[in-house]
Structures are given as C-alpha cells and as structure tokens.
Amino acid sequence: MKRALITGINGMDGSHLADLLLTKGYEVYGMERRSSSKNRTNTGHLEGRVTFVNGDLTDQNSLVRVLRESDPDEVYNLGAQSFVGESWNTPEQTGDVTGMGCLRMLEAIREYGKDVKFYQASTSEMFGKMVENPANENTPFYPRSPYGVAKLYAHWMTKNYRESYDMFNVSGILFNHESERRGIEFVTRKITDGVAKIYLGYEDHIRLGNLDSRRDWGYSPDYVECMWLMLQQDKPEDFVIATGKSHSIRDFLDVAFNCVGIDDWSNYVVQDERYMRPAEIDVLCGDSTKAREILDWYPKTAFQEMVSRMVKKDVGLLSD
C-alpha cells in the first residue's frame, strides 16, 4: 500500500486530493498546523480514515518529524498562504510559508534520504502579467503579487533540487480552480455565498472589487487528479493545468445569479475600493496540451456546472 503525505490537508485541494487517494487505496497522512480551534470544515468526513499529523511549513524540525511519522512514498506540498490579496498585507509571512516552506520540505526530504516523490503546488499567478496568451510550460514568468513571487521561488527550488540531487520533483502549474469547499475570501465562493444569502433574504448586496479581470476557472476535484497523475510518470516533468477558456467576474456573476432566477444583478452588486489590488492580473488563460498528450488529462466539469454546484451547496448550507 502506498503512503502519501499532504500538506494543507484542510484546504480545498488537500481535502479533495485525500478523497481521491483514499479511493486509490493509499494510506493518507494530512499535515495541519496546531491551532486553538481546528478548522476541519473540509475534512471532518476524513477523520478516522486519514492520519492527521502536526507540522508547520515555517518550522524545519516539524517537517522532519512529520516525514518520520508518515514515511511517505509521495509528498504533495499544498500548504501555503494562498490568498493573493492578503499577500500585500503580509508579504514576509507569505514568503516564509509559500516560498521558504517549499524549500524546507525539500531539505527535509533530502535529509530523510529515502526515495520520495514530491509535488509542488505551483500556480498561474507566476505568469501574472502574461507575456503569452494562453500560457504553456515554456512561457516566461512575470508575477504580479508577493504571493506570485513566493510561488516562483518555490517553483525554481523544486526544479533546482530535481537537477541538483536527482530528486523526483514536479510542479503542477495550475490555473484557478474552485469547488464547494473553496475558502470564503476567494471571489467565486464570495459570490456564491452572497447569491445564496440574497436568494434567502439574509442580505441585499455583495461588495466586490474589480469585475473585469478574467480567470481560467476549472473544478478542483478534476485538478487534484492531475497532481496524482504527475507523480505516476516515469520521469519528473512540470505541467500546465487549465481549461483553456477564460471568464470575467461579470460572467461568473451572470451564471451564479441565474441559478437563483435573477437575470439582472446590477442592483445587488456594489463595487468597493477595499477589494481592489495594488497590481492586478487582467487575464489568465492556460494551454494544457502537454497534460492532455502525456497524462491523458482533460477538464471534465464545465464552468456553468461548477458554478451551479457551488450556488446549490451554499443555498443548502444556509437553509439547514
């Protein structure tokens, strides 16, 4: 039986990946930070099936201990300060967790000395102000946020350790992906939660920032599958994972409000300067031809279907 260690187990992707690996017969270890109140909203259903281990990406020794406890064949490094907007408020902490955290895990694995396959959660934020549209594995990077810069450091470290120490390290350069388990601070979930509240009469508007930026949005359960696929290859390689279609925040609003029978949302959305960013990425769009050809991976869930599932889930949660 294979053993996998997932950092960021309680996050959106961590929980979906654990679901997937359990169906494949893995013994799954999930790393979480110690906190006064555990946030297992996404992972409550995994208690008893996943072994939760305490560790922090800012603490080298804790990573060494976690590796000893889990003795993994595969490590998926999904832990991060992952909210782009917050990275301008806490650039140093973001660099520490999101950038240095990856280096610490690579060092811990190197010292551990056994053959461990390593997955790094790289991101389309590294393409930032895209110099080529759609972006592929050869497109130059131009990050636009402290988060994007930290992720780029982690990305290059992953590659550098692969080349320096012959480690099986891969980076999945994933474009935006969402699900019913998305954190409430991200625009998609903020919208679906807001739409549900308006539909149920709890609120009368949603406050948002830039409505014109465009993102290439896929569905998280589809995307975690390619993380696993990348570690099953004979040779370690990086892959771009995307749908190839971009939608604006306005498009997302159209579909989300439509799910509750509202065609014109203009009276329900207020633009608020507080949610504007010091540097914005106007558009992100990816070309995942390489993943299709080598991993036989393609996105299965359409944009409209994903938005509709998120709205339904939020209406259900608030109606309970």
The active-site residue out of 26, 76, 119, 147 is 147
Of residues 70 and 82, the one with the C-beta less far from ligand GDD: 82
3-state secondary structure of 159: helix
85 lies in the binding site for ligand GDD (CB under 6 A): yes
Of residues 61 and 133, the one with the C-beta less far from ligand GDD: 133
91 lies in the binding site for ligand GDD (CB under 6 A): no
Q: Distance between CA 99 and CA 108 in Å, rounded? A: 15
Rounded to a whole number of angstroms, the distance between the first and last alpha carbons of the chain is 39
Catalytic residue status for 147:
yes
Q: Distance between CA 35 and CA 248 in Å, rounded? A: 36
Which residue in the block uniquely carries the two structure tokens 């990856």? 102
Dihedral, CA atoms, 308, 309, 312, 318, nearest 10 degrees?
A: -130
3-state secondary structure of 248: strand
Least separation in angstroms between residue 125's CB and ligand GDD is: 4
Least separation in angstroms between residue 229's CB and ligand GDD is: 19
Q: Which does 215 bind (CB under 5 to 8 A by kind): ligand GDD, ligand NAP, none?
A: ligand GDD
183 lies in the binding site for ligand NAP (CB under 6 A): yes
x-marked contacts with ligand NAP along 222-261 as a string, rule CB under 6 A: ----------------------------------------
Which residue in the block uniquely carries the two structure tokens 């654990």? 18
Catalytic residue status for 125:
yes
Tokens for 162, please give them: 């692969």
Q: Which range of residues in 72-80, 132-140, 266-274, 286-294 is near ligand NAP by CB under 6 A?
A: 72-80
Are 193 and 255 in contact, with CB atoms under 8 Å apart? no
Rounded to 5 degrees, φ, ψ at 306 are -65, -45
Least separation in angstroms between residue 310's CB and ligand NAP is: 13
Q: What angle do CA 165, 171, 174 make, to 5 degrees?
A: 175
Cis before 134? omega within 30: yes
Nearest to 174 by CA among 134, 227, 212: 227
70 lies in the binding site for ligand GDD (CB under 6 A): no
Q: Which does 208 bind (CB under 5 to 8 A by kind): ligand GDD, ligand NAP, none?
A: ligand GDD
Q: Which does 190 bind (CB under 5 to 8 A by kind): ligand NAP, ligand GDD, none?
A: ligand GDD
Q: Which does 209 bind (CB under 5 to 8 A by kind): ligand GDD, ligand NAP, none?
A: ligand GDD
Least separation in angstroms between residue 268's CB and ligand NAP is: 25
Nearest to 134 by CA among 251, 289, 302, 296: 289
Tokens for 37, please give them: 């109140």
The active-site residue out of 7, 98, 123, 188 is 123
Of residues 265 and 303, the one with the C-beta less far from ligand NAP: 303
Are 133 and 158 in contact, with CB atoms under 8 Å apart? no
- Position closest to ligand NAP via CB: 11
Catalytic residue status for 51:
no
Outline where the chain has alpha helix (H). Answer: 12-23, 60-70, 91-94, 101-112, 146-165, 187-199, 220-231, 249-258, 289-290, 303-319
Which residues participate in catalysis according to the annotation?
123, 125, 147
**Residues lying near ligand NAP in the complex (CB under 6 A):** 7-8, 10-14, 32-33, 39, 56-58, 78-82, 97, 121, 123, 174, 176-177, 183
**Residues lying near ligand GDD in the complex (CB under 6 A):** 82, 84-85, 123-125, 175-176, 185-188, 190, 208-210, 213, 215, 249, 275, 277, 280, 284
